[in-house]
């Protein structure tokens, strides 16, 4: 009579089975996104860190504004080949565009910092008044702060657009009278990475 013989797997077979099961579990977790969520560490800033980020971002916006305003004013003070009225129109338009851009940057910062949308205008206006009374250029340099990516995008965008405005004003102010067009209303892009351009009002960090 034949006998049915059952053999228990050896240690090697058990270890191999465990490895296979672990690999299959990892594949399932990866496919469902569970592993990605677990491995992605999220760091929440405390109040002191948030205050440091906010102050550094505000200084970055203001620093870009002040540097480009200073450039326009220095060129305006030169002896230029254009009529005085045209020089004033070009310089005033650039300064107004820079002020509008700064305000838009502060509004964008308020959203990035998590402030309620109905407080964004008040926050931007308060920041403008604070820096108008105490410019960044006249304040001691604080310790550098590594900005969060979203705040860095806003500050970087502010620098780029402000530089474009002051560079264009410099070209227009130093061009020959026959080659310099009269300033016309423009659309100033917002420093927010996702916001659409908004119209710039006529002439009045």
Q: What is the 3-state secondary structure (H, E, C) of the chain?
A: CCCCCCCCCCHHHHHHHHHHHHHHHHHHHHHHCHHHHHHCCCCCCCHHHHHHHHHHHHHHHHHHHHHHHHHHHHHHCCCCCCCHHHHHHHHHHHHHHHHHHHHHHHHHHHHHCCCCHHHHHHHHHHHHHHHHHCCHHHCCCCCCCCCCHHHHHHHHHHHHHHHHHHHHHHHHHHCCHHHCCCCCCCEECCCCCCCCCEECCCCCC
pTM: 0.67
Based on the domain organization, do 14 and 52 belong to the same domain?
no
58 and 73 inside one domain: yes
Provide the number of structural domains found in the chain. 2
Average pLDDT over residues 151-162: 98
Query: What average pLDDT is seen over the chain?
Result: 80
205 domain-assigned: no
Q: Is residue 204 part of a domain?
A: no
Residue span of the structural domain in which 11 resides: 1-42
The answer to the question of residue 86 being in a domain is yes
The answer to whether residues 75 and 30 belong to one domain is: no
Q: Is residue 61 part of a domain?
A: yes
Tell me what pLDDT residue 141 has.
82
User: Taking residues 120-140, what's their average pLDDT?
Assistant: 95
Q: In the prediction, which pLDDT does 202 show? A: 41
Average pLDDT on 41-50 reads 73
Residue 4 has pLDDT above 50, yes or no: no
């Amino acid at each position: 009579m034949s006998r049915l013989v059952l053999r228990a797997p050896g240690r090697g077979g058990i270890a191999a089975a465990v490895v296979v099961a672990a690999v299959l579990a990892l594949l399932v977790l990866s496919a469902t996104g569970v592993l990605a969520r677990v491995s992605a560490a999220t760091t929440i800033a405390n109040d002191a860190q948030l205050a440091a980020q906010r102050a550094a971002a505000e200084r970055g916006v203001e620093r870009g504004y002040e540097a480009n305003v200073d450039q326009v004013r220095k060129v305006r003070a030169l002896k230029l080949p254009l009529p005085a009225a045209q020089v004033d129109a070009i310089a005033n338009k650039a300064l107004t565009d820079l002020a509008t851009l700064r305000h838009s940057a502060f509004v964008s910062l308020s959203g990035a910092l998590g402030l309620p949308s109905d407080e964004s205008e008040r926050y931007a206006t308060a920041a403008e008044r604070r820096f108008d009374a105490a410019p960044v250029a006249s304040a001691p340099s604080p310790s550098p702060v590594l900005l969060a990516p979203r705040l860095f995008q806003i500050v970087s965008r502010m620098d780029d657009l402000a530089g474009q405005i002051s560079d264009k004003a410099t070209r227009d102010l130093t061009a020959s009278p026959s080659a310099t067009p009269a300033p016309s209303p423009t659309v100033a892009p917002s420093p927010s990475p996702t916001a659409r351009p908004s119209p710039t009002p006529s002439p009045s960090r």
